[in-house]
Structure 1
């Protein structure tokens, strides 16, 4: 487990520069780039076709691998759409799930069956969620099971070209395009566009723009912490909740692609933490900290895989993000969507 996390960290670092490891992987990147180009050419030529469903589709994705902030972006978009009168639902691949086929995710669905991020979207977004590797089939199942849904948000669907879309949000973090190379020599899932693609809005989950593409900055911070059992009951952090953890030793645990970002956010709040990084999408089959650990703080993505009864004698705290958009982003995104159906007015 530690070796896996260590290699993932090493690869993430290699993607920031054109060093020996990245250069050694370049031939595989050329092969990957050829396959990406061929696939897109087939869609442009009409040999392969995108399929539309009967309601608008908004795709959230990123051009780079390694956790740029799609899930908090999706959660914030769900809130924006609901405030605008839409009834959104979500489709997602469900990374790491053991089940096959399309699944309608319920609040009691185990993360092993739904995937950790889809379950988090179901619990925190309080909207219908369907998962499946075939996003078109998942979107149709979502509409069939939840006919009130009048817009589908596709989480991590930027490269799933078979699902037609009305708008898309491209999410970058402070890494930008990294070393500018395609996977596995670099972080790019597809080549960087020269300009903002049609029907797209760029969002930077960072302090400043990290590519040449014009876009908007996300409003991001730590909302506070809440006890695990209260989080599962739907509670949100109380004002100044972080104060209760200052001055006591904490073990910070994160099964993320880039856990250091989470650790830095906790330290910025004046917390005394020990770091315990885990591989992205860690399954928490067993609790990965020593027995007797008094206080553990972890992310919401980790919390969906730990039911309160497993906490034993220690205290587990869930750190929640405060994530949102400025008015210009909201205006630009909403302008890409068709008018809401008359029955929603």
Structure 2
């Protein structure tokens, strides 16, 4: 976490020096939204329903584990979902259908993880409309699209908006970027269909979600299992590493050293110099480290567990989708 990010969530006075830039950010984002609402800029509606899984703050809020849970839940409800994603950090000139042969550098770490874990087709492109169109062209069996992030990508019309917020850190100081962590004002939460607090209670949320640590998995297939209660060195390049720390401790492991890097960090072997095995990382980071993984490197898989309030409200929204689309 950078010094600026810490200031947002500890409400340091000096980050408010950036307030004029936040006002400019608000003016530009408000103008952009007005253009879409006034139909001066077009929103494209797909022939299948679209669910947005996003947030109004920067940094990790648990979108990836929730999206994995949502894919399974939708299949249980009789849908055949597909996923579109921006592919953060990937240099893309056209939509790409993610395959096992791709690397995180080519398609992004989160899309690669989603493709491997969800069992759903995943297409990446900075243009989400183009990504969705390509997904339906390549996978005509898909009858519902999940947009990973994209809450502010108004060019794509949506049927359900789901926003995750950090149950521990909340919305920080409540200011827009760069004086605070927000992409949109907190009032935006009143306009979405479902607000979920991850790993904590938040008054703005409709329900809560917890993350259950599953197991430590070796990056190398020939490696031995990690012993229970093992002492580990941590490394992570995610938006909220403290949540990872809590998951590791809840899984029963002890922590020697912690090394936290920027979110979506492009890992290389040099990042591990000075760490002692066993080394434990997140699953999202592990997809970037397989090509140079050493013995004694592990990742901790987690599973989202939404509470009944979330499930009930989502079920109601899906019933409306069925009636609207004749499913």
**TM-score between the two structures when normalised by the length of structure 2:** 0.92
Instruction: Give the match's secondary structure for 1:169.
Output: strand
Instruction: Give the match's secondary structure for 2:180.
Output: coil
Does 276-285 or 49-58 show the bigger shift? 276-285
Q: Match for residue 172 of structure 1?
A: 165
Q: Match for residue 335 of structure 1?
A: 316
Q: Match for residue 260 of structure 1?
A: 242
Q: Match for residue 218 of structure 1?
A: 209
Superposition RMSD in Å: 2.2
What are the superposed Cα offsets for residues 307-345 of structure 1, whole Å, 9 maximum, x if unpaired? Answer: 2x6223x3111101021222331221132231189998x
Instruction: Give the match's secondary structure for 1:218.
Output: strand
Q: Tell me how far 1:113 sits from its aligned partner.
A: 0.9
Q: Match for residue 130 of structure 2?
A: 137
Structure-1 separation of matches of 2:146 and 2:273: 39
**Structure 1 stretches of 4+ moved >6 Å:** 340-344
Q: Match for residue 66 of structure 1?
A: 59
Q: Match for residue 183 of structure 1?
A: 177
Judged with a 3 Å threshold, the aligned counterparts in structure 2 of structure 1 residues 292 and 152 are, in CA distance, closer, same or farther, namely closer
Structure-2 separation of matches of 1:340 and 1:142: 23
Whether contact under 8 Å (1:217, 1:326) holds in the other structure is yes
Q: Match for residue 236 of structure 1?
A: none
Q: Tell me how far 1:24 sits from its aligned partner.
A: 1.1
Alignment match of 1:229 (pick from 220, 229, 234): 220
Q: Match for residue 279 of structure 1?
A: 262
Q: Tell me how far 1:98 sits from its aligned partner.
A: 2.7
Structure-1 separation of matches of 2:152 and 2:33: 10
Q: Match for residue 90 of structure 2?
A: 97
What are the superposed Cα offsets for residues 278-314 of structure 1, whole Å, 9 maximum, x if unpaired? Answer: 111111233521378331111110111122x6223x3
Q: Tell me how far 1:132 sits from its aligned partner.
A: 0.6
What are the superposed Cα offsets for residues 27-56 of structure 1, whole Å, 9 maximum, x if unpaired? Answer: 110000000110111111111121111100
Q: Match for residue 303 of structure 2?
A: 322
Does 324-333 or 134-143 show the bigger shift? 324-333
Alignment of 1:67-82 (within 5 A): 67-82=60-75
1:302 to 2:295 alignment: no
Alignment match of 2:271 (pick from 281, 288, 306): 288
Aligned length: 321
1:113 to 2:106 alignment: yes
1:26 to 2:19 alignment: yes
Structure 1 residue runs of 5 or longer lacking an equivalent are: 1-7, 232-240
Q: Tell me how far 1:195 sits from its aligned partner.
A: 5.9
1:203 to 2:186 alignment: no
Alignment match of 1:40 (pick from 25, 33, 39): 33
Q: Tell me how far 1:230 sits from its aligned partner.
A: 4.5
Q: Match for residue 153 of structure 2?
A: 160
Whether contact under 8 Å (2:163, 2:189) holds in the other structure is no
Judged with a 3 Å threshold, the aligned counterparts in structure 2 of structure 1 residues 208 and 291 are, in CA distance, closer, same or farther, namely closer
Structure-2 separation of matches of 1:184 and 1:342: 40
Structure-2 separation of matches of 1:61 and 1:281: 17
Does 80-89 or 278-287 show the bigger shift? 278-287
